Structure 1
């Protein structure tokens, strides 16, 4: 029997007339479906790599090849994956001449009006999410720009008093407006995600109903020098799968380090259940634009600087919870045992290969898997800001946290195996120390009372002098010593004719740029302390200020 090359060489040599030439061209354009010996086979899924949006499915099939040119047809594949992404290899490195995807049309449900309508709605909804994500990121960038400009004080800015007042007014109005817009945009994205889930579920229901009627096939043209059993491996990308990050943060005792369980929530609607497969989760996205960005000229224009305040406050819980137990200043790292996930850094993303094998049905529901167990050595302390909240919060601080390869995601908090609340971990923070609020501890109490004898106004020539002060009491009702960071503030001047002087800080440390006053306290069991913060404001007689 002729080999593939011998067959075409023979035709080329024998073709001498124009008639023969036309005959040769016709042969060369014949579909590979009629060339070679057709061998059908079914494949199994060996492993999947789920991206943030999309999945690479790796399959294999053992087929019996004959000597010569073989047309291998891999049948019973779920239709709808990206056929442009198909990659095929032979275990024995046989020559693969062509690869073609085709659909087994028993009933083409993807061409039905109902399915196409859902598909178009899903594509439109994804675009809405992309657009809203751009809006949200722009709002956050503007907020960060405002917060970063925090070094303008007094008359050192070179600006007039009128300009400073305008900037102060802008800051007071623009920042709350930005926060409301960020909140609205975040809620809108959440609603869009719900709509995406609903549409994917409906599409999956149609896919499931037609699972036995609409299939895909891969046709592979392969040449073998002998009759043999051969393992064919192939992969492709399917956009109908995704995963998100979530965390369980557990603290068994304040003498022990934190346990952060990194989890992945996987959903898929590929039309085929994954059974007994190796699972990997990747932080990249194969559908992103592959073109590198081009930088354009950056033209600088004059603009008015903005006021800000110092960032870096710990994340806070939405719920009010109680924290029990005793406190230790620093907990040391403990080694974790057992099977671990292998984290591999690829060229543009992280990939986590999970141990063991897994089953994930094609039902559009979230299926949760443990990615990593991280023991985080950290130190704990309390933070009290009685001007804003009379509760005292326990905060865990983790240094050098970036080495754990974490991504942004929702976080559940557990103390002594009891659920205490929800939080959100933002992996985009740029500080070396990660601060996580573990909720308020009702065993430490605070009060903040106005000093009535200091609330008075005096007139000095063309100036008006206003004195104000507060007394802060903090008490440790726990059975162990507590380390507490107590914070308050004095106002900052925004006008050259306005001065603010600290009269009494009770040993507190004043940050002159932010006005924040801090006391680092260590209270023994049952001990209470009082701190006084008092200040004097001098302004022109015809001006007014509001003091909270």
Structure 2
């Protein structure tokens, strides 16, 4: 054929196996499915080539398949079908030769064993009538010589047979790999036209279900570190049963949800008419069929069979960490690994009226440019596992609270309450009881702590005859109390501060006053308050809650 001759009309056929002749170069894993990119490299002939690719997963979503060509070739029609069953090779020229050699060796071993048996029988048949005493030495010498030679031959043949059995097993394993995988029976036929003979690459990109990932975290706290004491390690739990192996593949974790063949919905006619009672008649069912617009792809594709059933075996993997490669709250792409230090404000909280134990908490701020997905977290403090907690979806610069368990090194004593009762009034006597509750905080750590919050409360009156007044700390409700400025009747009233200092490193406030979303109108209405403390190493802090309850002397108060 000269260079001016047209390419042959009959297409050249190229047979490829998906697993053996390609490599997965990318897996984009979404919450319910994965997108696989497989790269094939092969040589085409001038003219039309038909590339048969076998061993694709049964669960492949055919409407998602697209083919990209790389090289001096043009891709034509792509056809996908489910193989009904392929011949699995059970023999090979090498296996045939090995089997022949084994048969010969086995026959030789059988003859050798029969010769040894005959030699023993011959020696046992000799008697004095048949053998003179003068010939006995010669017979025994020949027996030893022949028997020794046969024994050595038997040992040699037995070893040769063992080696042949090993070679036969290895060859059978070789020709049977890969076996026809019942979960990898989808096949594709791709038309490739080449202007000249040479190497080309094609990438098959397709989606498969039965693959998912979820986010979870390790939160590690180093109590001896002042700056960045919290390290958050992003992890991903990957589960797939697509039938394909994902060993050593580049994996991207996606938060968006892909849509294949999803059409824009259409509105059906909405008509009004005069209602008429239906006449007795047979019901007719009208069914309208609609088809979703196929996903835009490079080449035409048709489907010749339905997808097979899902696999029974799951494949579980765990990826520690994930580095983000695209931004946004709607979707993000992650690659492993991604540990990170996050801004964290450590705090301690105790409600000694209920339980004197102290709870350690970290308010972690997401200072990255990417959203943290909702998931579970394993919490470690100073290398020890503490608990598991839930991490919500956290946008950039948003914070979330992470409980870190109990801190036994902060000891709080809730002393018995002291009561002082008195009466006043001549005709209408009023009984007043002053309650004094002392609280002691002891920091047994070798380092100082800050942001210790101790919560308590005073009772709230539900009757106009009972008056409850907070004495210490001197907090007032927003807009109440304070001193008047000026002498005119319109003088403004300056309320007392919502936060008061009650000692070195200790301030008191209505509970919730330091929250970003504080409702000023509701502040203190539940009569809950707290102290914020800074306690030195091996130091103690004392503060007192004092309030009084006044009511008519003849009134019995319930709830004290």
Same fold by TM (over 0.5)?
A: yes
Aligned partner of residue 275 in structure 1, secondary structure: coil
Distance 1:214 1:259, change over 3 A: closer
**For residue 280 of structure 1, what is the aligned residue in structure 2?**
252
Q: Which residue of 321, 325, 335 maps to 1:343?
A: 325
Shift of 1:64: 2.7
Q: How does 1:113-512 map to 2 (within 5 A)?
A: 211-212=181-182, 215-252=185-222, 253-257=224-228, 258-286=230-258, 341-345=323-327, 348-354=330-336, 371-401=337-367, 403-427=369-393, 432-453=398-419, 470-483=437-450, 484-492=452-460, 500-505=468-473, 507=502, 508-510=508-510, 511-512=523-524
- Aligned counterparts of 1:95 and 1:273: Cα–Cα separation in 2: 30
Q: Which residue of 535, 547, 553 maps to 1:523?
A: 535
Bigger Cα displacement from structure 2, 264-273 vs 490-499: 490-499
**For residue 179 of structure 1, what is the aligned residue in structure 2?**
none
- Aligned counterparts of 1:463 and 1:87: Cα–Cα separation in 2: 89
1:388-424 C-alpha deviation (Å, 9 max, x unpaired): 4311123333345463531121111223323232222
2:30–2:254: 8 Å Cα contact kept in structure 1?
yes
Aligned partner of residue 453 in structure 1, secondary structure: strand
**For residue 174 of structure 1, what is the aligned residue in structure 2?**
none
Distance 1:78 1:433, change over 3 A: closer
Distance 1:210 1:465, change over 3 A: farther
1:387–1:448: 8 Å Cα contact kept in structure 2?
yes
Distance 1:232 1:447, change over 3 A: same
Shift of 1:435: 3.0
Please tell me whether Structure 1 or Structure 2 has the larger radius of gyration of its CA atoms: 2
Structure 2 regions of 5+ residues with no counterpart?
87-177, 267-320, 475-501, 503-507, 511-522
- Aligned counterparts of 2:467 and 2:50: Cα–Cα separation in 1: 88
Shift of 1:373: 0.9
2:322–2:335: 8 Å Cα contact kept in structure 1?
no
Shift of 1:494: 6.9
Shift of 1:103: 0.6
Shift of 1:443: 1.4
Count of residues in Structure 1 that have an aligned counterpart in Structure 2: 357
Distance 1:392 1:62, change over 3 A: same
Q: Which residue of 99, 120, 130 maps to 2:78?
A: 99
- Aligned counterparts of 2:415 and 2:396: Cα–Cα separation in 1: 37
Q: TM-score, normalised by structure 1?
A: 0.56
Shift of 1:291: 7.8
- Aligned counterparts of 2:352 and 2:435: Cα–Cα separation in 1: 17
- Higher relative CO (Cα under 8 Å, sequence separation at least 6) belongs to 1
**For residue 40 of structure 2, what is the aligned residue in structure 1?**
61
Distance 1:213 1:450, change over 3 A: closer
- Aligned counterparts of 1:431 and 1:234: Cα–Cα separation in 2: 40
**For residue 544 of structure 2, what is the aligned residue in structure 1?**
532
Shift of 1:539: 8.3
1:44-102 C-alpha deviation (Å, 9 max, x unpaired): 21221111221111101123323333322211112112111111110137433322221
RMSD of aligned alpha carbons: 4.2
Aligned partner of residue 83 in structure 2, secondary structure: strand
**For residue 124 of structure 1, what is the aligned residue in structure 2?**
none
Q: TM-score, normalised by structure 2?
A: 0.55
Structure 1 regions of 5+ residues with no counterpart?
8-33, 108-207, 295-338, 355-370
Whose helix proportion is higher, 1 or 2?
1
Aligned partner of residue 403 in structure 1, secondary structure: coil
- Aligned counterparts of 2:424 and 2:370: Cα–Cα separation in 1: 58
- Aligned counterparts of 2:265 and 2:443: Cα–Cα separation in 1: 56
**For residue 14 of structure 2, what is the aligned residue in structure 1?**
39
2:33–2:212: 8 Å Cα contact kept in structure 1?
yes
Shift of 1:350: 0.4
Shift of 1:242: 0.9
**For residue 189 of structure 1, what is the aligned residue in structure 2?**
none
Distance 1:77 1:289, change over 3 A: closer
Bigger Cα displacement from structure 2, 383-392 vs 79-88: 383-392
Distance 1:218 1:536, change over 3 A: farther
Q: Which residue of 52, 57, 64 maps to 1:73?
A: 52
- Aligned counterparts of 2:357 and 2:238: Cα–Cα separation in 1: 38
Shift of 1:216: 0.7
Distance 1:250 1:400, change over 3 A: closer
Aligned partner of residue 538 in structure 2, secondary structure: coil
